[in-house]
Structure 1
Amino acid sequence: MTDFRERIAAAYDTEAFRREGRQLVDTLADYLRQAERGEGLPVLPWAAPAVNVDRFAASFPEEPTGDFAELMASVLSGSNHLHHPRYVGHQVTAPVPLAALCDAVSSLLNNGMAVYEMGPVSTAMERNVLRWMAARLGMPESTDGVLTSGGSLGNLTALLAARQARAGYDAWNDGAHAGPPLAVLVPTTAHYCVSRATRVMGWGSGGVVPVPVDSRFRLRPEALGPALESATRAGRKVIAVVASAGSTATGAFDPLEPVADFCERHGLWFHVDAAHGAAAVLSSEYRHQTRGIDRADSVVWDAHKGLLMPALVTAVLFRDGARSFESFAQEASYLFGNTERPWSDVGLRTMECTKEMMALKLYTCLRVLGTRLFADAVTESYTLARRFAERLSAAPDFDVPVSPDCNIVCFRHTPAHVPPEEWDALQARLRERLVTRGDFYLVQTKLPTGVYLRVTLINPLTTDADLDALMEALRTAARR
């Protein structure tokens, strides 16, 4: 027992923590300086999965090794560097460093948030952050919601509430087959998590009724009526329409106002998956693209996209705040007792029971750094995307299928020496070459006319010069 006490004392030693912490912050600051400047650092130090499995083998010794600094250096050197200005890949931002310090505080406090008494400060912060977000969206004071772990879980949470509100039977307690099979109308460009959510709820493949999009990949409001009629004839009860504000493939914003009108006429729940694009409401120049979002019954907004936060921080907002209790209408008396549902017991409204202090980093950064920083970041990223699309369109060897609505740009390199029937394969080869060399990190997408490269200009450190260099890197790779 004495030996155990000595080991525990060493593991919790405050002076050792102070020493390791100071050294780590210095290391992280040096890393950030190098990443932000892109000096001698690949965006992604490519290694095959098996190589990294061997590199970080499960060789866990019984005795302390004291190699924390060495291990963290290996983690930093081998990871994808999102703060590199030539990271233009997935919709995950380069978080502001202050948020990382908040994560350290959250991890040390470890205040889970199922009930208020386990996370009193973070619960209060979460409520006020959600109020701020709702106000920016133009939603009424009755709006309430939760923070949860990502847009996929956020959309599931919203659709569970929609089911309780519009199904006409208690699917939560009586099961998915206690009434007619349900469905939602969804644009063909919607994120796959919407289909995943309906399947999780037991609706099967028919739970999503696809709605055609126009040439700009935006939902066609006039197609909603025929889609509703088709689903009804097939024996489905449609309960909601899901629209996108910043779709994943192209960043398209669906026309929200006519969708809201349609839902109002037919008594349908109106949900907006604005995980990527909700932050546009902060920009005086681009908020018009979200016109109508204030009429939604529910909205999903990812702070780890447009608000420069580390993943994952997703807000699920309900126009009628009472609906937020209907996603998970389950009792757990050992936690919540038999009292009425208090807003302060967040576990009543989230999939998570033990939930980290998500609000801490968002609340702190909004309060310490000010909201203008985040509004300007949205405006700058959207404007940068437009400038890049214009330069691509002006070049004879690049093709832009649609001008960007936000900070996502789809394009492909079409050099004269490559015939059109080989363009799809070329884009895949070009991406692989740039990514494995570490020059850039970008992704690709499939559109009706073929394979396209896709960039998300979500890193506020990316400049026009970086994007010009991307064009030249693609040209060079194609010649080789």
Structure 2
Amino acid sequence: MIAPRTDLAAYDPETFRRLGHQVVDLLADHLARSQRREGPVLPWAPPERLLADFPATFGAEPSAEAAELLGRVVTASHHLHHPHYVGHQVSAPLPLAALSDFVSSLLNNGMAVYEMGPVATAMERHVLGWMAGLLGLPAGAHGVLTSGGSVGNLTALLAARQARAGHDVWKQGSAAGPPLTVLVPETAHYCLARATRVMGWGEGGVTPVPVDAHFRLRPDALGEALAAARRAGRHPLAVVASAGSTSTGAVDPLEAVADFCEREGLWFHVDGAHGASMVLSERYRSQVRGIERADSVVWDAHKMMLMPALITAVLFREGHRSFEAFSQEASYLFHGEGTRDWNDVAQRTLECTKEMMALKLYTCLRVLGTRVFADALTASFDLARRFADRLEAAPDFQLALRPDCNIVCFRHTPPGVPEAALDALQARLRERLVTQGDFYLVRTTLGGRVWLRTTLINPLTTDVDLEGLLEALRRAV
């Protein structure tokens, strides 16, 4: 007798329906508990314990019940929807976006070519056009969605290399010309140095540009950085400016950088992974004035647009530049030498099989409207400014700098603690709060000193929560 096939049973629609209801109920209960501020933000456990709690017992027969296992995953995971999550630049995703992700995972329409992901390809085209319009880029601007800011910045720099290297690097290789470099603020995200090394430019692939006391790029230092790169035998091809740097959220003076790039014939790239979303807000969009002059912009929707990770837009002032980052032929996918169909997305991304990223953002834009995103960003920036006011008024706290966006850096300076001991105190306080689960915040180093760092990215976080954070820090000393 032939045993029934277990793989076919695993596709049973009614089993899926029952489990789907259970999982949605599980997640809805999790959202409700988080909004009531119940339980820890992060139920801290050492790695060895989780290895034991989720063992590698994968037998030929079933060894776990789905709802029970997924329930334990929810309980033991980091709870970003908890209003006391004020840590990294990762959003508390909109529930509708998560449901769209659910649909995307089941449909599994990879987007290398149009016929594999027709609906998501059309949605991506419209979402990118809308984003380019918000940035103020001209007609003809366009781009692609890709998997995160690191890949997005690499994609933009690949296009810059092809456009400004002085020869066809894609066909001739880097050795056909002088070694290349880009001018980058000292505070830029590490992924930019990683990208230049991936491209084979070595340690000198990034030429650092000094920043001011607010950790913003100094335009007056660009000329010397350019000259230093040339003295080192490098061919500078671009300047990268930050719109919302990682450590402090600082926004570089984009208009001044644009002026410099125009004078020197350099590609102007804006790493707006965090801060490009400011264009959504009537109140704060002026802070990124000049972004409309960029040759390329990276913009993460999984930060200030409340999407699940990862959804990153790479937008080009001249839309055809997105094809120049990746130019090879693949006859099993693309039919015809030199084909540049906008609807065959893999011609413009590092990925071949790419998930339906646009589905989540398009669905939320259509169903919820754009005001949801504008209100969330404006409210988080307003909250950051009020938090900064509170820190400045508190005698036992020190604000690092006034925030440009929703990232606030500060330290606890209780009476009687000598200056030399403050760095160790911040590290100890942060560890205590995180391991207890009361709050989740991170730390950074500014000017050689340790600071606590908060990203106010959860729309449910309030002034009362932040006052509670300060009280928790005081109790933890």
- The TM tier, using the shorter chain, reads over 0.9
CA-CA distance at 1:344 after TM superposition: 0.4
SS at match of 2:33: helix
Matches within 5 A, 1:425-464: 425-464=424-463
Residues 58-85 of structure 1: per-residue CA shift (max 9 Å, x gap): 1112113460001001100100000000
SS at match of 1:242: strand
SS at match of 2:175: coil
Letter in 2 for 1:134: A
Contact between 2:85 and 2:439, CA under 8 Å: does it hold in 1?
yes
Query: 2:269 maps to what in 1?
Result: 271
Residues 74-101 of structure 1: per-residue CA shift (max 9 Å, x gap): 1001000000000000000100001111
Letter in 1 for 2:145: L
Residues 147-198 of structure 1: per-residue CA shift (max 9 Å, x gap): 0000000000000000000001122222222210000000001000000000
Q: Distance in 2 between matches of 1:71 and 1:150?
A: 29
The answer to which of 309-318 and 171-180 deviates more is 171-180
CA-CA distance at 1:217 after TM superposition: 0.6
Q: Distance in 2 between matches of 1:338 and 1:131?
A: 26
Query: 1:326 maps to what in 2?
Result: 324
CA-CA distance at 1:449 after TM superposition: 4.7
SS at match of 1:3: coil
Instruction: Flag as ranges the 4+ runs of structure 1 deviating above 2 A.
Output: 1-4
Matches within 5 A, 1:145-156: 145-156=143-154
Contact between 2:42 and 2:78, CA under 8 Å: does it hold in 1?
yes
CA-CA distance at 1:343 after TM superposition: 0.6
Letter in 1 for 2:453: R
Residues 28-67 of structure 1: per-residue CA shift (max 9 Å, x gap): 101110012212x100000011111121111112113460
Query: 1:233 maps to what in 2?
Result: 231
Query: 2:401 maps to what in 1?
Result: 402
Q: Distance in 1 between matches of 2:448 and 2:211?
A: 14
Letter in 2 for 1:90: H
Query: 1:163 maps to what in 2?
Result: 161
Q: Distance in 2 between matches of 1:460 and 1:131?
A: 26
Query: 2:282 maps to what in 1?
Result: 284
Is 1:28 the counterpart of 2:27? The answer is yes
Is 1:121 the counterpart of 2:105? The answer is no
Q: Distance in 2 between matches of 1:236 and 1:25?
A: 55
Query: 1:185 maps to what in 2?
Result: 183
The structure 2 residue matched to 1:172, chosen from 170, 173, 185, is 170
Query: 1:110 maps to what in 2?
Result: 108
CA-CA distance at 1:3 after TM superposition: 2.9
Contact between 2:137 and 2:317, CA under 8 Å: does it hold in 1?
yes
Query: 1:91 maps to what in 2?
Result: 89
Query: 1:14 maps to what in 2?
Result: 13
Letter in 2 for 1:250: T
Q: Distance in 1 between matches of 2:48 and 2:143?
A: 42
Query: 1:379 maps to what in 2?
Result: 378
Contact between 2:57 and 2:63, CA under 8 Å: does it hold in 1?
no
Q: Distance in 2 between matches of 1:69 and 1:451?
A: 43
Query: 2:422 maps to what in 1?
Result: 423
Residues 419-476 of structure 1: per-residue CA shift (max 9 Å, x gap): 1100000000000000000000000000005100000000000000000000000011
Letter in 2 for 1:450: R
Query: 2:357 maps to what in 1?
Result: 358
Q: Distance in 2 between matches of 1:401 and 1:114?
A: 45
What is the aligned-residue identity percentage? 71
Structure 2 unaligned runs (5+)?
Answer: none
CA-CA distance at 1:10 after TM superposition: 1.1
Query: 2:257 maps to what in 1?
Result: 259
SS at match of 1:335: coil
SS at match of 2:187: coil
Query: 1:470 maps to what in 2?
Result: 469
Residues 236-272 of structure 1: per-residue CA shift (max 9 Å, x gap): 0000000000000000000000100100111100000
Structure 1 unaligned runs (5+)?
Answer: none
SS at match of 2:313: strand
Q: Distance in 2 between matches of 1:19 and 1:68?
A: 11
Letter in 1 for 2:376: A
SS at match of 1:361: helix
SS at match of 1:38: coil
Q: Distance in 1 between matches of 2:8 and 2:350?
A: 36
SS at match of 1:142: coil
Matches within 5 A, 1:190-229: 190-229=188-227
Q: Distance in 2 between matches of 1:308 and 1:12?
A: 32
SS at match of 1:30: helix
Is 1:3 the counterpart of 2:14? The answer is no
Query: 2:69 maps to what in 1?
Result: 71
SS at match of 1:185: strand
Q: Distance in 2 between matches of 1:24 and 1:231?
A: 56
Letter in 2 for 1:325: F
Query: 1:313 maps to what in 2?
Result: 311
CA-CA distance at 1:7 after TM superposition: 1.5
Residues 108-142 of structure 1: per-residue CA shift (max 9 Å, x gap): 10000000000000000000000010011011121
SS at match of 1:336: coil
Contact between 2:297 and 2:314, CA under 8 Å: does it hold in 1?
yes
Letter in 2 for 1:37: R
SS at match of 2:333: helix
SS at match of 1:123: helix
Q: Distance in 2 between matches of 1:124 and 1:465?
A: 43
Count of residue pairs brought into register by the alignment: 476
Contact between 2:273 and 2:300, CA under 8 Å: does it hold in 1?
yes
State TM-score, norm by structure 1. Answer: 0.98
Letter in 2 for 1:159: L
Q: Distance in 2 between matches of 1:150 and 1:178?
A: 31
CA-CA distance at 1:2 after TM superposition: 4.7
Letter in 1 for 2:457: I
Residues 279-321 of structure 1: per-residue CA shift (max 9 Å, x gap): 1001011000100000000000000001000000000000000
Over the aligned positions, Cα root-mean-square deviation in angstroms equals 1.0
Letter in 1 for 2:86: V
